[in-house]
Copies of this chain bind each other. A is one copy, B any other.
Amino acid sequence: MTAVSDEQIRKAVDEEMLRRLASPEDKEVEQLDAWWRAGNYLTIGQIYLQGNPLLREPLAPQHIKPRLLGHWGTSPGLSLIYAHVSRLIRHTGQQAIYLAGPGHGGPALVAAGYLEGTYSEIYPHVSQDEAGMLRLFRQFSSPGGIPSHVSVTTPGSIHEGGELGYVLVHAFGAVMDNPDLLAVAVVGDGEAETGPLEGSWKGVSFLNPERDGAVLPILHLNGAKIAGPTVLSRKDPAEVRRLLEGHGYEVLEVEGSDLPGMHHRFAATLAGAWGRIRAIQHLARTGGWDGSRPRWPLIVLRSPKGWTGPEQVDGVRMAGTWRSHQVPLSGVRDNPEHLAILESWLRSYRPEELFDSTGAPTELVRGLAPEGDLRMSASLHANGGLLTRDLVLPDFRDYAVEVPRPARTRAESTRRLGELLRDVYRDNPDSFRLFCPDETNSNRLGAVFEVSDRAFAERVTADDVAISRDGRVMEVLSEHNCHGWLEGYTLTGRHGMFATYEAFAMVSASQTVQHGKWLQEASRLPWRAKVPSLNVLLTSTAWRNDHNGFSHQGPGLIQVVLTQRGDVARVYLPPDANCLLSVADHCLRSRSYINLIVIDKQPQLQWLSIDQAAEHCARGAGVWDWAGTDDGTSDPDIVLACAGDVVTMETVAAAQILKERLPGFKVRVVNVVDLMTLMRPKDHPHGMSGTLFTELFTDTVDVVFAFHGYPGAIHQLVHGRPDADRFRVRGFIEEGTTTTPFDMTVRNRASRYHLVMDAINNAKRLPRGAADLMAWCERKLAEHQAYVVEHLEDMPEVRDWALGE
């Protein structure tokens, strides 16, 4: 699609309304400017003041905070945009949320929420009066207060302003299946240097104007980051334009610092952008769309860093340079000249026009602000739990694998999940999406394509399969996009799952960490309603990356999730298809967790019937009587525990070997699905009681634990349990290569033979025949080793044997 024409805009939007929007009257400019000045004033107050908030008396050193923190440089730009978008909302009734990529401009967004009244509604002690304003100032970047950047505590935000790079992925995720929403996403020119941000412009290549809302990116070029210039700000503007046009946007530009000129030009540009968005949507929603990717508008705003701040300090240029990034005046308490500059700076905004005698914003300031839920700081979309509806979920039992007896059936477990997800798609046509880097089919989840194509807004050809502009399965070869889109989607109240190769989940590990931190923090804010969980399915696991080898063998994300607090962290290792179904059902119903589910996609032995699986998963861990030789009347000789599909198979095999070859030796097999049950109840809400732990693991018998991930994970989980030293863990110890699945277990010393030897070595009672069995195991391993070496050249033949199944 070429850019929309004026004619198309006129058909979509009331012409007179758009004209008024584009050309604010003098009164409106005055209101815009007042709002903007108020935002800037409150921003500076948060950075500097601990007294005299309304400047009712001359500014004195004791009014200044002892330690000056915060970021001024980006804030005036953020406030200007906020003011203008608010006016747009007021004129048009557009539902909008605001995402501040330069989130360190936190005081600007906090100021906006305060001016809109939302802040006081949520935090009544920060009232719209002089005392409240002082609290607003003092809490900022102070102990017990709020951080210096946009955070979970900021009303209207779904985007933490700490780790940079995700403003566009969050915005695109928010508008998917959200046709009436406009996400205004401000991209800072520092953030624009990050890989995740650069990789996220292409969100438009996956957006459907008929069914999805719109993202309006505003690239805010103010020239510098902490200590130097940014790449985009120093490139030829024509080059920047080409870059953004290359990403598929129609680029609208506003530049300058003149007033009121900038108000007029930004209003006109914003109106132009909005008109284009509405025209694109109108075409798509009234049958006038040719199906090609729309050329969505994007605004480049060039304004000085620290705009309206001091031009010079101590003879050095300040506004417009990197020196404005944080605190432009550093010596205010001790340097009378700096104090005077600060006072005249603050007074330049004429606070007496902005706040009335009580300290509340005046009518002039509030004149253009929207009301109720239309205020961006009060948008329900930014507190998505309020909009969350339960998914319509089929009965997971309907997708069960028939398992009359353990270890008789083989199945690709994730394929069953795919069938369940297909029906979740079908029954929730606007509130569920699967996000996956190009691997939906590879991960055996392809059944979803029976009811939904992949989403793709670029050209589709006859050779393509299951891909169209109307698709809702999200495939992009970028874990960052997948993860971030899902975050935006769930934070605005919808449900989803991110499925990816286990090893490459580390690509977006920092997003998992930061989203977990968001959920942890949100759980302590009563006004933040719970949102759908972030469900992460890891498949194509370490143990079954036979031909890909070492670089694809890494179960590291488990360690990462384990570091998070118990109120959000959940890790599940279903051993088979029916357990996976039960776990997935639970996760899709849950709220505000990070649910990590790990299971491989290859055909694997099935252990439990669906009813057994449901019961087993509800408990999270349990004894598999049928696998062991423990009669339950007394402590066994050894406990063989396992968590994870491949190691469960090895454990059951080891128990079988012991059963056959060491009669009288009592083996108990424990399978753990919910890893967090191993923790103490005081450390995690899923932690099993001491009594139950003892029932499973005894207090004194040694436990040989075969674990899917790095062994250290289990050591840290069982710490504090009775005699934790007795847990001998086998797991992935970074011994990987291109080899057979069975050889993987041998290399990592987690094979059935290793487990048998561990059992014998650690049993308190050494039964007759133990030494023979040890020797047998060593022989089996030596044979395996010899076979591997000898048959290096005939490797394909070794596979079946080495599978050892």
CB neighbours (8 Å) of A386 from chain B are none
B144 touches A788 (CB 8 A): yes
Give the distance to chain B from A725, nearest Cβ to Cβ, in Å: 5
Cβ of A738 < 8 Å from any Cβ of B?
A: yes
A143 touches B198 (CB 8 A): no
Cβ of A656 < 8 Å from any Cβ of B?
A: no
Of the four ranges (under 10, 10 to 19, 20 to 34, 35 or more), the interface on chain A belongs to 35 or more
Question: In this complex, what residue of B is CB-closest to A240?
Answer: B246
B456 touches A228 (CB 8 A): yes
Cβ of A606 < 8 Å from any Cβ of B?
A: no
**Which residues of chain A from 197 to 237 have a CB within 8 Å of any chain B CB?**
197-202, 205, 225-231, 234-235
B723 touches A712 (CB 8 A): no
CB neighbours (8 Å) of A690 from chain B are none
Cβ of A141 < 8 Å from any Cβ of B?
A: yes
Q: Which of A417-425, A457-465, A623-631, A640-648 contacts B (4 or more CB under 8 A)?
A: A457-465
Question: In this complex, what residue of B is CB-closest to A720?
Answer: B725
Which one of B226, B463, B550, B563 lies within 8 Å of A317 (CB-CB)?
A: B463
**Which residues of chain A from 100 to 140 have a CB within 8 Å of any chain B CB?**
134-135, 138-139
CB neighbours (8 Å) of A191 from chain B are 477
Q: How far is the CA of A788 from the CA of B792 in the complex (A)?
A: 67
Q: Digit string of A41-76 for contact with B (CB within 8 Å is 1, else 0)?
A: 000000000100000000000000111011000000
Which one of B67, B458, B550 lies within 8 Å of A234 (CB-CB)?
A: B458
Q: Digit string of A502-522 for contact with B (CB within 8 Å is 1, else 0)?
A: 011011011001100110110
A197 touches B194 (CB 8 A): no
Cβ of A532 < 8 Å from any Cβ of B?
A: no
Q: How far is the CA of A439 from the CA of B442 in the complex (A)?
A: 41
Q: Digit string of A542-576 for contact with B (CB within 8 Å is 1, else 0)?
A: 00001111111010100110111100000000000
CB neighbours (8 Å) of A725 from chain B are 719, 723-725
B552 touches A563 (CB 8 A): no
Cβ of A178 < 8 Å from any Cβ of B?
A: no
CB neighbours (8 Å) of A200 from chain B are 195
CB neighbours (8 Å) of A799 from chain B are 66-67, 143
Cβ of A796 < 8 Å from any Cβ of B?
A: yes
B738 touches A194 (CB 8 A): no
Q: How far is the CA of A563 from the CA of B201 in the complex (A)?
A: 34
Give the distance to chain B from A370, nearest Cβ to Cβ, in Å: 29
Cβ of A321 < 8 Å from any Cβ of B?
A: yes
Give the distance to chain B from A7, nearest Cβ to Cβ, in Å: 23
A226 touches B438 (CB 8 A): yes
**Which residues of chain A from 660 to 717 have a CB within 8 Å of any chain B CB?**
710-713, 715-717
B239 touches A243 (CB 8 A): no
Give the distance to chain B from A433, nearest Cβ to Cβ, in Å: 16
Q: Which of A147-155, A388-396, A768-776 contacts B (4 or more CB under 8 A)?
A: A147-155
CB neighbours (8 Å) of A197 from chain B are 195, 199
B143 touches A739 (CB 8 A): yes
Cβ of A795 < 8 Å from any Cβ of B?
A: yes
CB neighbours (8 Å) of A716 from chain B are 711-713, 715-716
A795 touches B478 (CB 8 A): no
A66 touches B463 (CB 8 A): no
Q: How far is the CA of A758 from the CA of B247 in the complex (A)?
A: 58
Question: In this complex, what residue of B is CB-closest to A231?
Answer: B205
**Which residues of chain A from 428 to 476 have a CB within 8 Å of any chain B CB?**
438-442, 454, 456, 458-461, 463-467, 475-476
Cβ of A242 < 8 Å from any Cβ of B?
A: yes
Give the residue among A244, A481, A551 with the most B Cβ atoms within 10 A.
A551
CB neighbours (8 Å) of A604 from chain B are none
Q: How far is the CA of A245 from the CA of B243 in the complex (A)?
A: 7
Question: In this complex, what residue of B is CB-closest to A317?
Answer: B463
CB neighbours (8 Å) of A162 from chain B are 503, 548, 551-552
Give the distance to chain B from A703, nearest Cβ to Cβ, in Å: 13
Cβ of A798 < 8 Å from any Cβ of B?
A: yes
Which one of B454, B478, B562, B712 lies within 8 Å of A719 (CB-CB)?
A: B712
Question: In this complex, what residue of B is CB-closest to A248?
Answer: B239
Question: In this complex, what residue of B is CB-closest to A727?
Answer: B719
CB neighbours (8 Å) of A715 from chain B are 712, 715-716, 719
Q: How far is the CA of A163 from the CA of B549 in the complex (A)?
A: 12
Which one of B138, B147, B480, B796 lies within 8 Å of A795 (CB-CB)?
A: B138
Cβ of A164 < 8 Å from any Cβ of B?
A: yes
A458 touches B229 (CB 8 A): yes
Give the distance to chain B from A83, nearest Cβ to Cβ, in Å: 27
CB neighbours (8 Å) of A201 from chain B are 198
Q: How far is the CA of A65 from the CA of B729 in the complex (A)?
A: 37
**Which residues of chain A from 754 to 805 have a CB within 8 Å of any chain B CB?**
788-789, 792-799, 802
A793 touches B503 (CB 8 A): no
**Which residues of chain A from 252 to 300 have a CB within 8 Å of any chain B CB?**
none
B795 touches A142 (CB 8 A): yes
Cβ of A193 < 8 Å from any Cβ of B?
A: yes
Q: How far is the CA of A788 from the CA of B145 in the complex (A)?
A: 10
Which one of B50, B438, B794 lies within 8 Å of A138 (CB-CB)?
A: B794
Cβ of A146 < 8 Å from any Cβ of B?
A: yes
Known: A554-B517, A799-B67. A147 touches B229 (CB 8 A): no
Q: How far is the CA of A213 from the CA of B227 in the complex (A)?
A: 27
Q: How far is the CA of A156 from the CA of B208 in the complex (A)?
A: 44
Cβ of A740 < 8 Å from any Cβ of B?
A: yes
Cβ of A487 < 8 Å from any Cβ of B?
A: no
Which one of B198, B506, B547 lies within 8 Å of A509 (CB-CB)?
A: B506
A510 touches B517 (CB 8 A): no
CB neighbours (8 Å) of A724 from chain B are 724-725
Question: In this complex, what residue of B is CB-closest to A724?
Answer: B725
Which one of B199, B231, B459 lies within 8 Å of A193 (CB-CB)?
A: B199
Which one of B151, B440, B513 lies within 8 Å of A556 (CB-CB)?
A: B513
Which one of B160, B202, B563, B565 lies within 8 Å of A712 (CB-CB)?
A: B563
B464 touches A229 (CB 8 A): yes
B226 touches A461 (CB 8 A): no
Cβ of A737 < 8 Å from any Cβ of B?
A: yes
Cβ of A493 < 8 Å from any Cβ of B?
A: no
B734 touches A520 (CB 8 A): yes
Q: How far is the CA of A143 from the CA of B246 in the complex (A)?
A: 44
Cβ of A322 < 8 Å from any Cβ of B?
A: yes
Known: A190-B438, A509-B509, A518-B551. 7 other contacts (CB 8 A): A138-B794, A143-B788, A162-B503, A195-B198, A506-B513, A521-B550, A712-B717
Closest 5 CB pairs of A and B: A243-B246, A195-B199, A712-B716, A162-B551, A147-B549
Q: Which A residues have a C-beta under 8 Å from some C-beta of B?
A: 50, 65-67, 69-70, 134-135, 138-139, 141-149, 151, 160-165, 190-191, 193-202, 205, 225-231, 234-235, 239-248, 317, 320-323, 438-442, 454, 456, 458-461, 463-467, 475-481, 503-504, 506-507, 509-510, 513-514, 517-518, 520-521, 546-552, 554, 556, 559-560, 562-565, 710-713, 715-717, 719, 723-725, 729, 733-734, 737-740, 743, 788-789, 792-799, 802
Task: Supply 27 A–B pairs (Cβ within 8 Å), ascending by A.
Answer: A66-B796, A67-B796, A143-B546, A143-B798, A147-B737, A164-B477, A193-B202, A194-B479, A195-B198, A195-B200, A196-B199, A198-B198, A198-B199, A226-B442, A227-B442, A229-B456, A229-B461, A235-B458, A239-B245, A243-B243, A509-B509, A509-B556, A520-B550, A520-B734, A556-B563, A560-B560, A563-B712
